[in-house]
Amino acid sequence: MTVELQHPMKADATPQETARGRFVSGMRSLILNDLAGDMGEAYEKRAAPKFRKANGRDPETSREAHEALRGDPAFNIYSAMRVQAQKMVWASVADSVERESERLAAEAAKVADVAGGAALNPELDVPKNVHAIDVHLMPGSYTRGADSLEAGAVYDRGLAVFSMGLMGANLDDIGLSMAQYIKLRFPDFAPERILDTGCTIGHNTLPWKQAYPAAEVIAIDAAPGPLAYGSARAKMQGQDVLFQQMCADDLAYEDESFDVVWSSMFLHELSKKQRAKCFEEAYRVLKPGGLVVHMELPPNDQMSAFDGFYLDWDSYYNNEPYYKGYRDEIPANLTARAGFASDDYFDFVVPSISIYGEDAVREAAAGDRAEAVGQETTGRLAEGVMWYGFGAFKK
């Protein structure tokens, strides 16, 4: 199903556009649930045995599982259809965004004086990984339309189709689930200043403001358009969040000035070098007792070869060039190299709060994170999705 956006910048779609979006969501559901299951069966019945015959052992890594599946009919049809469905996601919303550009600007103008806002930096050298490829096959990437509302609107409306209803009514399920988990697991932790890095349109920033209403919340991204859109979107939803154009690996903030540094689905969009610098910067700007916490895809070392390949697919075929490189890293090493103590590191799996409810998140916060990390629903945008996260407190 396609989610209906919860703010005045939602599309005034024609019946044809609504039908196109519904079809694409339905196709993605078929592909990510049914065809993915078929591919898993093909791996067990054909690809892995063929690899075993040739190598005298099972595939041991994501790369070997990929190698085993290349050319298999189930892999071919899953992949070709998934690539096309991804292109159709963005195509299904492009017309309405173009047609409604003036209305979007007018809606944003209505909330121009509301608290919050976007501070753009035209001098910022936007990194290549943000503008030089069509990230996840989104035409024009995050810099489409420069600092207009276009990229944000395409992303927001596209995500409503892409998510198949699995990212919450306000596309904020990741933020809601994670913020609630942290609040429940660390009830005495009361952050006063929270930073979201790589926020795009701030859909997973707002839940932190909701979880900690007294906190000052700042959200940054390198791309200007999504920030302008995200700021208007936040204001329309009554959330006082400041959006600033900035790179997470070069923060213009003072040392020890935040209590939380957070991101969602962001680290895999960075090169290894950028990623390491992000953690150094997070460590620098966190106060003692502050928390770095990231929602991300689970790492390859905690998954089977097939499940690892399944997530790494995006790296090769969805214009996510750093996806696999990120998943090959060990999260505990990322925090440790930046200065966080190893015994302050933790990782966890949170059930989607929209799907499983708050009690399930409470149970997860009270329980052992390890039980769910290896489950095939962890990190997969499919029925039963659960979110992986990790973090560390700064001493």
126 CB-near residues (< 8 Å, 6+ apart): 143, 222, 223
Range in contact with another protein (rule: CB under 8 A) among 97-105, 127-135, 204-212, 387-395: 127-135
Residues within window 8-27 making contact with another protein, judged by CB under 8 A: 15-16, 18-20, 22-24, 26-27
Shortest distance in whole angstroms from residue 30 CB to another protein:
5
**Structural contact between residues 59 and 48, judged by C-beta atoms closer than 8 angstroms:** yes
Residue 95 interacting with another protein (CB under 8 A): no
HSE value, Cβ hemisphere, 13 Å, CA-based, for 292: 29
**Structural contact between residues 164 and 136, judged by C-beta atoms closer than 8 angstroms:** no
The single residue among 6, 7, 10, 29 that binds another protein, judged by CB under 8 A, is: 29
Per DSSP, 344 falls in state G
The single residue among 6, 7, 10, 38 that binds another protein, judged by CB under 8 A, is: 38
Query: For residues 327 and 380, which CB has a smaller minimum distance to another protein in the complex?
Result: 327
Residues within window 288-317 making contact with another protein, judged by CB under 8 A: 315-317
Encoded one letter per residue, x for contact with another protein by CB under 8 A and - for no contact, window 320-349 reads -xxxxx------------------------
Instruction: Please choose, from the candidates 137, 205, 141, the residue with its C-alpha nearest in 3D space to the C-alpha of residue 176.
Output: 205
Shortest distance in whole angstroms from residue 43 CB to another protein:
12
180 CB-near residues (< 8 Å, 6+ apart): 207, 211, 353, 358, 361
Instruction: Please choose, from the candidates 99, 218, 231, the residue with its C-alpha nearest in 3D space to the C-alpha of residue 152.
Output: 231
The single residue among 50, 58, 81, 189 that binds another protein, judged by CB under 8 A, is: 81
Per DSSP, 378 falls in state B
285 CB-near residues (< 8 Å, 6+ apart): 195, 251, 253, 254, 255, 256, 257, 258, 261
Residues within window 52-71 making contact with another protein, judged by CB under 8 A: 63
Taking the C-alpha atoms of residue 171 and residue 178, their distance in angstroms, rounded to an integer, is: 13
Query: For residues 313 and 387, which CB has a smaller minimum distance to another protein in the complex?
Result: 313
Shortest distance in whole angstroms from residue 210 CB to another protein:
28
Query: For residues 140 and 384, which CB has a smaller minimum distance to another protein in the complex?
Result: 140
Query: For residues 324 and 369, which CB has a smaller minimum distance to another protein in the complex?
Result: 324
Query: For residues 325 and 339, which CB has a smaller minimum distance to another protein in the complex?
Result: 325
Query: For residues 69 and 361, which CB has a smaller minimum distance to another protein in the complex?
Result: 69
Query: For residues 31 and 218, which CB has a smaller minimum distance to another protein in the complex?
Result: 31
Spacing of C-alpha 332 from chain mean position: 19
The single residue among 77, 236, 355, 360 that binds another protein, judged by CB under 8 A, is: 77
Query: For residues 329 and 347, which CB has a smaller minimum distance to another protein in the complex?
Result: 329
**DSSP line for 32-77:** IIIIHHHHHHHIIIIIHHHHHHHHSS---SHHHHHHHHTT-HHHHH
Per DSSP, 120 falls in state -
Taking the C-alpha atoms of residue 357 and residue 206, their distance in angstroms, rounded to an integer, is: 19
Per DSSP, 253 falls in state S
- Label residue 114 exposed, middle or buried (CB < 10 Å: 0-12, 13-18, 19+): middle
The single residue among 7, 58, 84, 376 that binds another protein, judged by CB under 8 A, is: 84
Taking the C-alpha atoms of residue 214 and residue 70, their distance in angstroms, rounded to an integer, is: 52
The single residue among 9, 11, 36, 75 that binds another protein, judged by CB under 8 A, is: 75
Shortest distance in whole angstroms from residue 20 CB to another protein:
6
Q: Which residues lie near another protein (CB under 8 A)?
A: 1, 15-16, 18-20, 22-24, 26-27, 29-30, 34-35, 38, 41-42, 63, 73-81, 83-85, 87-88, 128-129, 132-134, 140-141, 315-317, 319, 321-325
